[in-house]
A = this chain, B = another copy of it.
Amino acid sequence: MTAFTDELRRVGEQIGDFLCSDTFPETIHPAALGEAVRDYPCRGGKRIRPALVMWACELFGGDREQAIPAAAAIEIYHNWTLVHDDIIDRDDLRRGKLSTHASLRNHAEKNLKATPEQAAAFGESFAILAGDIQQGWAVERLASVADHGVSPGLALELVRAMQTKLNRELISGEAQDVEMELLDSSFVSEADVMNMINGKTGAIMEFALHCGAAIAKGAYEPKSPDFRALSRYAANLAAAFQLQDDMLGVFGDAKVFGKPVCSDFQEAKPTMLYLEAVRRLPADRRPELDSFLRLPHYSDADVAAICALLTGCGAADAVRESIINLSASARAALLPLPANQWRGMLDTLVEHMLVRSV
């Protein structure tokens, strides 16, 4: 695990240095918008998606240096979706700090003497625009692999895949998530939720791996066996990752997790954890579970009661078991790929996720 954590730290430093020395955001006016564009990408985070690009590139004998701009692009891309998600989900926190729209709202109140209502509108508007510019920045960084020895034709293919397949899958996933909040959970199946998870989390992991592999191989071949194996790995890993996230949202420590506790309950999101509980609880205890949806605030007693309900009916254990099974499938998907240290990194990454114990 030491080699793995050292390597993940190395990726984090390389990508952090690359992103924070990128001068693109400085060319944006007003300055507050430029700062918002740089903010999330420079906050750090786990940098797992860029690592997938680098490791998939090295896995197939590619040049790590060539993959760095693509890895940075994936990180920027991920972050623009977070900026817009945070507006949509009305989350004021991201990685333990203020989210983009909340931070811009403060800027408007302090520096532009806006009323609270004006400041809220300003924060949302600027955050929409910051995400829009970030999407363009991600495209530019991915395209810039052509400045580092990748053929313009391949760079163009990767840009097109990002702006069609990835955009469609990821944004559709987010849209399904938004729509599900309005649907009675009786109309939402576990398949719907798994499909939504694959869009929201799996699509970008798959694309990150495909980018790295394409740069190494000099060709983007999503239907070839190697690319398909990476897709299976990504889908299983993403599902495990998201289920873990759902668990942490209830059982985790908000300070470590960086999001308000029980925010999924507050937004009445039908997570797998919630659907498992609905399926397992006797009908007369369902109202008790649903009484915890959409509360304005979650006290320690509320959280303890939710945890007891989810544990008592077996839902928490069922989700823990799913995480274990999905993780095993992710690791199995790697077996046909070249057996080198980079496949080892991808393998250990699966384990690494389970370290965040719940």
Interface residues of A (CB under 8 A from B): 24, 27-30, 33, 84, 87-88, 108, 112-114, 118, 122, 124-126, 128-129, 131-133, 135-137, 139-140, 143-144, 146, 151-153, 155-156, 159-160, 162-164, 167-168, 171-172, 174-176, 178-179, 182-183
| B128 touching A179, Cβ below 8 Å | no
| A143 touching B168, Cβ below 8 Å | no
Q: List 7 A-B contacts (CB under 8 A).
A: A33-B175, A84-B129, A122-B182, A132-B135, A133-B168, A143-B163, A152-B152
| A163 touching B182, Cβ below 8 Å | no
Using known A-B contacts A131-B132, A160-B140, A163-B137, determine if residue A122 contacts B183 with beta carbons closer than 8 Å.
no
Please name the residue on chain B nearest to A80 by beta carbon: B132
Query: CA–CA, A130 to B136, complex, Å?
Result: 16
| B112 touching A183, Cβ below 8 Å | yes
Using known A-B contacts A132-B171, A156-B156, A156-B159, determine if residue A178 contacts B29 with beta carbons closer than 8 Å.
no
Distance to closest chain B CB from A45 (angstroms): 21
Please name the residue on chain B nearest to A143 by beta carbon: B160
Using known A-B contacts A156-B143, A182-B118, A183-B112, determine if residue A164 contacts B24 with beta carbons closer than 8 Å.
yes
Q: Which of A112, A139, A155, A174 has the most CB of B within 10 A?
A: A139
| B179 touching A30, Cβ below 8 Å | yes
Complex copy number for this chain: 2
**Chain B residues near A176 (CB, 8 Å)?**
29-30
Distance to closest chain B CB from A138 (angstroms): 8
Using known A-B contacts A88-B125, A129-B84, A136-B164, determine if residue A159 contacts B172 with beta carbons closer than 8 Å.
no
A interface SS class: helix
| A28 touching B152, Cβ below 8 Å | no
Please name the residue on chain B nearest to A90 by beta carbon: B121
Contact of A163 among B136, B151, B171 (CB under 8 A): B136
**Chain B residues near A30 (CB, 8 Å)?**
172, 175-176, 179
| A159 touching B135, Cβ below 8 Å | no
Q: Which of A84, A87, A159 has the most CB of B within 10 A?
A: A159
Distance to closest chain B CB from A198 (angstroms): 12
Query: CA–CA, A172 to B136, complex, Å?
Result: 13
| B122 touching A171, Cβ below 8 Å | no
Query: CA–CA, A176 to B160, complex, Å?
Result: 31
| A164 touching B146, Cβ below 8 Å | no
**Chain B residues near A124 (CB, 8 Å)?**
88
12 additional A-B residue pairs with CB within 8 Å, beyond A128-B128, A132-B167: A24-B164, A30-B172, A30-B179, A33-B175, A87-B128, A132-B135, A132-B171, A133-B171, A136-B167, A137-B167, A139-B163, A152-B156
Query: CA–CA, A178 to B130, complex, Å?
Result: 13
**Chain B residues near A135 (CB, 8 Å)?**
132, 135-136, 163
**Chain B residues near A179 (CB, 8 Å)?**
30, 112, 122
**Chain B residues near A87 (CB, 8 Å)?**
125, 128
Distance to closest chain B CB from A112 (angstroms): 5
Query: CA–CA, A84 to B274, complex, Å?
Result: 33
Distance to closest chain B CB from A173 (angstroms): 9
